[in-house]
Amino acid sequence: MILKICGITNQLDADAAIAAGATAIGFNFYPQSPRYIAPQSAARIATPGVRRVGVFVNEPPPSITEIANVAALDVAQLHGDETPGQYPPGIAVWKAIRVSPDFDFSHWDEHAAEALLLDGPAAELYGGAGRTFDWSLGHNTRHRIIVAGGLDASNVARAISLARPWGVDSCSRIECSPGIKDHMKMIDFLHAAKAALGA
């Protein structure tokens, strides 16, 4: 199972996340994000034994490939308006989608992504807004799913119970400020997720 901490900007937070059981670390390469990190800075953050995920919004595939090489990424997490034909080659893709009550998963059946990252509504914003959605809707797709949006220690067990996802992802609810993690909240989230999984 994927236990992802997103929006990592420094080595101390990465170390604490990995020590607490994170299996994936996310770096945000969207320049307008308050959690933006330069690819060269991400490259200097060591993450032994976990998947390195880059968050992108409408980035051209050649640019994603270049950043992936610089930052040693394993996954490109795409939050923009990308179609399957615009997925970057040679790297796993997690396609982020916003879930509303009337969401139609059949639109995504032919998408060749390793996983769909299900996020809450964010109005006109790209990326997440720390809002939850109806996790039971995750049963409506044949894809692997990763649940994101408003997750912390207080609700991750319920999200796992309802969605039965391949992974969970937390960011804003476990921060002191954008890009700076609250280590106790982060550790509590990861421990609660592992307990819900019986890990």
Which residue is listed with tokens 């790297």? 91
d(CA 179, CA 106): 34
Q: Judge contact between 148 and 125, C-beta under 8 A.
A: no
Active-site amino acid positions: 6, 119
- Residue 5 burial (C-beta neighbours within 10 Å; 0-12, 13-18, 19+): buried
E strand or H helix at 117, and its extent? strand 115-119
Q: Are the CB atoms for 168 and 191 separated by under 8 Å?
A: no
Bridge partners (DSSP) of residue 175 are 181
> Residue 134 is encoded by which pair of tokens?
């109806």
Give the whole-angstrom CA distance, residue 188 versus residue 174: 9
**CB of 139 within 8 A of CB of 179?**
no
Name the residue among 125, 173, 153 with its Cα closest to residue 7.
173
Q: Give the span between the Cα atoms of 164 and 158, in whole angstroms.
A: 10
